[in-house]
Amino acid sequence: MTWSLRKSTEEGKGLGSVLEKEQLCPVLLSSLYIESYAACRTMKESKMKRTNRRGVRRRRTTVLPWALIIQILLRLPVKSLVRFKSVCRSWFSLISDPNFAISHFELAAASTERLLLLESIVPEARSIDFNAPLHDDSASATLNLNSLQPEFYWDQILGSCRGFVLLDCGQSLCLWNPSTGIHKQVCHSPIAWNMDVMFCTFLYGFGYDPSTDDYLVVQASYDVNSEAVTTRVEFFSVRANAWKEIEGIHLSYMNCCDDPRTGSLLNGAIHWLAYSNDASRNVIVVFDLTERSFSEILLPEDLACQFDFCELRVLGDFLCVHVMGYHECPLQIWVMKEYKIHSSWTRSVDVPVDEIPTKCFSLICATKNGDIVGRTDGDSGLVKCNNEGEFLEHRSYYDGRRGSQMIVYTESLLSLPYDSDQAEED
């Protein structure tokens, strides 16, 4: 049943009680919404007299019950909903309601993935609908950063999950929903910022644990001066608002410190490329967000490349590894067609870089119809190729400047959970 909406984990007040009902659209509304709907009155008949499409004079407009309006709004993309906050007060309250956001996200009928492009020097943020043609101006919008601190800047994008993007802002980390402007500062881990020991943080991840309705920021580090490379893993629970080290794991992974890897989310787990000291080779490290446990996925045997040029991505529902395309070498894509089944690694298309202006191309994501989207280095540009690897289009967003970063995020209206003893941030 598509409209059987999630039972609210919050107190079943307000909208929650409207959405929980088994009945399709209950006439019974909570007092809150009856009041707000009453404020949203119907226009006078005289105002509505105009000609409709069929040229017939319309006497009046069919007025939909509030519960049915909610059902329509649940099927709209985030961008439309953010705009329609301006329709009237009752729509504003509804669209701002956390329970509505959860129902909207879980109905997923209108979920849209967009690309966030951050230019760190300016600073400027742009949101790009990569499913639309890149040259379509309406597909790209400049985001408002006023809700963030005036001195806000970012060093790096570290992850993305359910509409939130994790940013490293130097003195702290920041969780930011680019669609709504909701954000939260997260202090750095006291362990990795211990001044006595030189820890190198080489893996960053950000994910959601549905069993506890909590977001986790995960990072792995090792002591660079220690002979035995022991991986330390710690996570920040947004709900608990605290860092915690995961004890009793005996892992030994490492990467170059100046090239920390950000995780790829798939099937409730974060995935990274890392070098395994025990196996003396590169592997995919998997962290299960609910079990809080680690496992490994081996890379395809025929994948031979320098680690620096390899990256992990999620294309559609598949884990994939790609080798960056550079001058004579085409972009190489390997797809794991069945999750955790090693024999299912398949070499997908090669994308030649001849037609790409900077002759350098790395994979970012795939569109709904299977086109490949990648970035070019040096010009903050995007390139789109079809699923045969044929060049379709290129667009540069910030000419001549460097230091921009990109990540795919799913649009959502979600806010962050917090325990009652923790004051909500502004």
Q: Given the rule CB under 8 A, which residues bind another protein?
A: 1-3, 24-25, 39-43, 48, 52-54, 58, 60-65, 68-69, 71-77, 79-80, 82-89, 91-92, 109-110, 127, 137-139, 141-144, 146-147, 181
Cβ at position 67, least distance to another protein in Å: 8
Cβ at position 317, least distance to another protein in Å: 23
74 or 319: whose CB is closer to another protein?
A: 74
Residues 6+ apart with CB under 8 A from 328: none
Q: Are 419 and 239 contacting, i.e. CB atoms less than 8 angstroms apart?
A: yes
What is the spatial distance between Cα 235 and Cα 220, in angstroms, rounded to a whole number? 9
AA letter at 180: T
Secondary structure of residue 41 in the 3-state scheme: coil
Cβ at position 100, least distance to another protein in Å: 15
25 or 229: whose CB is closer to another protein?
A: 25
145 or 216: whose CB is closer to another protein?
A: 145
Annotate 299-358 with DSSP letters as a single string.
PPTT----GGGEEEEEETTEEEEEE-EETTBPEEEEEESSTT-GGGEEEEEEE--TTSTT
Cβ at position 135, least distance to another protein in Å: 13
Cβ at position 148, least distance to another protein in Å: 12
Secondary structure of residue 325 in the 3-state scheme: strand
Phi, psi dihedrals of residue 31, rounded to the nearest 5°: -60, -35
Question: What CA–CA distances, in Å, run from 180 to 80, 183, 408, 417?
Answer: 12, 9, 16, 15
What is the spatial distance between Cα 255 and Cα 54, in angstroms, rounded to a whole number? 66
Cβ at position 132, least distance to another protein in Å: 9
Cβ at position 157, least distance to another protein in Å: 18
Of 244, 258, 249, 218, nearest to 231 (Cα)?
249
167 or 356: whose CB is closer to another protein?
A: 167
139 or 329: whose CB is closer to another protein?
A: 139
Of 326, 290, 307, 120, nearest to 202 (Cα)?
307
Cβ at position 154, least distance to another protein in Å: 18
Cβ at position 70, least distance to another protein in Å: 10
What is the spatial distance between Cα 149 and Cα 168, in angstroms, rounded to a whole number? 14
Cβ at position 150, least distance to another protein in Å: 16
Q: Starting at the earlier edge strand, list the strands of the sheet with 156-161.
A: 156-161, 164-168, 172-176, 183-187
Q: Count of CB atoms within 10 A of residue 273's CB?
A: 20
Cβ at position 159, least distance to another protein in Å: 22
Q: Are 201 and 380 contacting, i.e. CB atoms less than 8 angstroms apart?
A: no
Question: What CA–CA distances, in Å, run from 134 to 48, 131, 314, 383?
Answer: 39, 8, 21, 8
Q: Are 127 and 115 contacting, i.e. CB atoms less than 8 angstroms apart?
A: yes
1 or 228: whose CB is closer to another protein?
A: 1
Of 258, 252, 372, nearest to 307 (Cα)?
258
Determine if residue 248 is left, alpha or beta; phi over 0 gives left, psi from -120 to 50 gives alpha, anything else beta.
left
What is the spatial distance between Cα 350 and Cα 329, in angstroms, rounded to a whole number? 9
53 or 327: whose CB is closer to another protein?
A: 53
Place of tokens 């005289």: 46
Q: Are 289 and 208 contacting, i.e. CB atoms less than 8 angstroms apart?
A: yes
40 or 349: whose CB is closer to another protein?
A: 40
88 or 246: whose CB is closer to another protein?
A: 88
Classify residue 170 by its DSSP letter: S
- Crossing angle of helices 98-107 and 66-73, in 10° steps, is 60
147 or 348: whose CB is closer to another protein?
A: 147
201 or 412: whose CB is closer to another protein?
A: 412
